[in-house]
Amino acid sequence: MRRLLLFPLLLFAMLLGCGSDPGHPSGTAATDGAAIYAGQCVLCHGDDGKLGLSGAKDLTMSELSKKEMIALVTNGKGLMMPYGRVLTAEEIEAVVDHVRALGKRP
Ligand code: HEC
C-alpha cells in the first residue's frame, strides 16, 4: 500500500520541480521589452508607438533621453500610470529600449 502511494507522489514532485526551474528565476520573457510593451503599453501607444490614446504623444517622435524615459515610465505622467509599481527597474529599462527602437524604424 505504501509503495503505491509513493509513486504518484514522486511523479508529482518531479513535475513541480520542472515547472519552477530554479536556474532561471524570472526567465527571459519577463525582461523581453517587446513582450512587456505588448502587454502594458500597446493599449494607449499602439503597436508602433503612434496611437496616442488619452493624449499620449507619438513615441517615435519623442525627444526624451533614455534616462528621462525611464523616469517618466517609472513615475508616470498625466494619464499614464507610474510603472515603478508594477515593473522592476530591469523590466522598465527593457521596455524603454523597445520604445526607443520603435523610433528608429523607417
Ligand atoms: C493609460 C494609457 C497609457 C498607457 C497604458 C501607457 N502610456 Fe505612456 N503615455 C500616456 C500618456 C497620456 C502620455 C503623455 C503624458 C503627458 O505628457 O502628459 C504618455 C507618455 C509616454 C512617454 C513620453 C513621450 C514623450 O516624449 O513625452 C513614454 C516614453 C511612454 N509614455 C511610454 C510608455 C510605456 C513604455 C508604457 C508601458 C510600460 C506606457 N507608456 C503605457 C498614456 C499611456
Among residues 75, 72, 47, the alpha carbon closest in space to that of 62 is found at: 72
Residue 77 three-state SS: strand
Determine if ligand 1 sits within 6 Å of the CB of residue 43: yes
Q: Say which amino acid occupies 20.
A: S
Residue 98 Cβ < 6 Å to ligand 1: no
**Residue 18 falls within a domain, yes or no?**
no
Q: What is the pTM of this model?
A: 0.78
* Digit-coded pLDDT (tens) for 67-100: 999 999 999 999 999 999 999 999 999 999 999 9
Is 73 a domain residue?
A: yes
Binning pLDDT at 50, 70 and 90, where does residue 54 land?
A: confident
Q: What is the arithmetic mean of pLDDT over 55-64? A: 92
| CA 26 / ligand 1 centre spacing (Å) | 25
Grid cell 527593457 — which residue?
Answer: 94
In a domain, 100, yes or no: yes
Decide whether any atom of ligand 1 lies within 6 Å of the 56 Cβ: yes
- CA 100, CA 63: separation in Å to the nearest integer? 10
Residue 7 pLDDT greater than 90, yes or no: no
Number of independent structural domains in the chain: 1
23 lines ligand 1 (CB under 6 A): no
Give the CATH number, domain containing residue 106: 1.10.760.10
| Alpha carbon distance 26, 100 (integer Å) | 23
**What does the pLDDT read at residue 103?**
79
- Give the structural domain span for 60: 48-106
